Amino acid sequence: MGDKTFADKELAGEMGSFKEPGVRLKQVEGEGASSFADGDLEKALFLGMQQLALAKLCYEEPNTKDKEVMMAQAHYNLSVIYYEMGLGDQSLYHAQKALERVDPRKTGEGENNNFTVSCMMAIARAMIQRSDPKCVNFLQRALVVNHELNGPDHDSNFRIHEGFGDFYVLLGDSRALYKATTAKKDTSVDVNAKKKQEPDDYEKAMDEYATAYSKIAGGGKATAFYGGLGSTKDARMGDMFGHAAKTRSKMGNDNEAAVIYEKAVACLESASKPNKAKIAQMCYELGATYHKAKVS
């Protein structure tokens, strides 16, 4: 048989729409995950909206199991997609909706699990994207719960320490903006005042990123940003290295930032399905940083 004609494909699509909502839900969820992995965020968003609509249909069915988790998963997926699109408000809305469905504090049922932690982290990431320092409340709770579930050395703590790093960068950016826009500081009420020998926010961020690295790579934090990656090319660390490189550049060391960007690219390229758009952006940042280092 030859390739399907346009009419055949349209008919197949129409027939697919008559499937049971539960069957269609699983299909749409799988297609959405694949589109997201490919970096096709528009298609992933379209399918994510379908997933939520189908989940609502399934929720009304009396025989549907784990209804709250099903709804939470649909909202969580949309939160992740909106976050990647840079839409913090929408991401936060769906992350909050997801946590409401599975948070034992709100439902009075069940216990915390790994998905609960994921929902907390989705809220924290969205709040960071919206420059909301209250994100630290969710980061702290996520860390406590995850330690209870998996222990302090488990690699699942990686994303939480990465989040703390992003939080400290947010604080550092806020202080830098204040310094840049304030012509004369009132020394009696200095919001930038800190104790002697206390590291600044960017240094704290780099320490958290190094801690995140150690949760996956093992060993100490000292080698996180220096030396080769060796066999530790984990795609999960790609974004973290990118954030660390940008932070190091803000600290005035573009040479070190470029080295860290190289690690970011290597990790992103190690993914089973590399996100070409994200790799291209990281390569651009690498090139721009090399140029800054050369002319400075």
- Helix H, strand E, coil C: the string for 152-168 is CCCHHHHHHHHHHHHHH
173, 86: one domain? no
Which residue do the tokens 């930038």 mark?
A: 192
Do the beta carbons of residue 165 and residue 244 sit within 8 Å?
yes
- Residue 92 sits in which domain range? 20-152
Q: What is the mean pLDDT of the segment spanning 195-213?
A: 85
Residue 231 in domain = yes
Give me the number of domains the chain comprises: 2
Q: Would 73 be classed as within a structural domain? A: yes
pLDDT for the residue 106: 85
User: Buried b vs exposed e over 147-174: b needs ≥16 C-beta within 10 Å?
Assistant: eeeeeeeeebbbbbbbbbbbbbbbbbee
Domain CATH for 121: 1.25.40.10
Cα(first)–Cα(last) distance of the chain, in Å? 63
**Of 176, 104, 101, 169, which Cα lies nearest the Cα of 135?**
169
122: tokens are 């989705």
Residues 28 and 128 in one domain: yes
Res. 196: pLDDT tops 70: no
Is the same domain home to 171 and 110?
A: no
Question: Could you tell me if 133 and 172 lie in one domain?
Answer: no
Instruction: Please identify, among 117, 152, 187, the residue that sits at the C-terminal boundary of a domain.
Output: 152
* pLDDT at res. 110: 82
Verify that 47 and 130 share a domain, yes or no.
yes
Residue 12: pLDDT over 70: no
Neighbours of 102 (CB within 10 A): 23
Residue 37 lies in a domain: yes
Distances (CA, A) of 43 to 27, 28, 52, 142, 264: 14, 11, 14, 30, 26
Whether 80 and 43 share a structural domain: yes
- Give the pLDDT confidence of 229-279 residue by residue, as tens digits: 665 789 999 999 999 999 999 999 999 999 999 999 999 999 988 988 899
Q: Where are the beta strands (DSSP E) in the chain?
A: none
When pLDDT is cut at 50, 70 and 90, the band that residue 90 belongs to is: very high
Given 84, 117, 152, the domain boundary residue is: 152
Phi and psi based region of residue 197 (left: phi greater than 0; alpha: psi -120 to 50; beta: remaining): left
- Residue 265 exposure: Cα atoms within 13 Å on the Cβ side: 15
**Within a domain: 192:** no
Residues 216 and 258 in one domain: yes
- 167 in the same domain as 109: no
This prediction's pTM: 0.85
> Average per-residue pLDDT in the chain?
88
Q: Quick check: is 193 in a domain?
A: no
Q: Name the pLDDT band for 15 (thresholds 50, 70, 90).
A: very low
Backbone φ/ψ region at 97: left (φ over 0), alpha (ψ -120 to 50), beta: alpha
135 or 276: which leads in pLDDT: 135
Residue 127 in any domain: the answer is yes
Domain co-membership, 172 together with 128: no
Contact 245, 257 (CB under 8 A): yes
pLDDT of residue 152: 96
Q: What phi-psi label fits residue 61: left (phi over 0), alpha (psi between -120 and 50 degrees) or beta?
A: beta
Rounded mean pLDDT, 42-62: 96
With the C-alpha atoms ordered 184, 187, 191, 194, is the resulting torsion angle positive or negative?
positive
Window from 128-137, 211-220, 230-239 with minimum mean pLDDT? 230-239
Q: Which of 112, 136, 152 is the C-terminal boundary of a domain?
A: 152
Residue 8 lies in a domain: no
Calpha distance 93→60 (Å, rounded):
22
Domain membership of residue 87 (yes or no) is yes
